[in-house]
Structure 1
Amino acid sequence: MDPRIVIHPPSPDDPHGGRRVHYDSAILGLARGESDLREFLRRAGFPGWEDADLEDPGLFRWEGGGPETWSE
Structure 2
Amino acid sequence: MTESASPHISTPRITVLGVQPGDPPFRMVEIDGEVVGEATSMTDLLLAAAARGITVHDLDDPGVIRWVGGGKFSWRLH
Residue 6 (structure 1) aligned with residue 15 (structure 2) = yes
Match of 1:35 in 2: 43
Distance in 2 between the 1:7 and 1:55 partners? 12
Structure index of larger Rg: 2
* Two-structure CA RMSD over aligned residues (Å): 1.1
- Return 5+ residue gaps in structure 1 as ranges: none
**Equivalent of residue 66 in structure 2, options 48, 55, 61:** 61
Gaps of 5+ in 2: 1-9
Q: For each residue in 1:1-44, what CA deviation from the matched residue of structure 2 results, as whole angstroms up to 9, or x when unmatched?
A: 111110000013x1311100001122121000011001101111
Aligned length: 68
Runs of 4+ in 1 over 4 A off after TM superposition: none
User: C-alpha displacement at 1:61, in angstroms?
Assistant: 0.6
TM (norm. structure 2) is 0.80
Q: Percent identity?
A: 34
Say which structure, 1 or 2, has more relative contact order (CA 8 Å, 6+ apart). Answer: 1
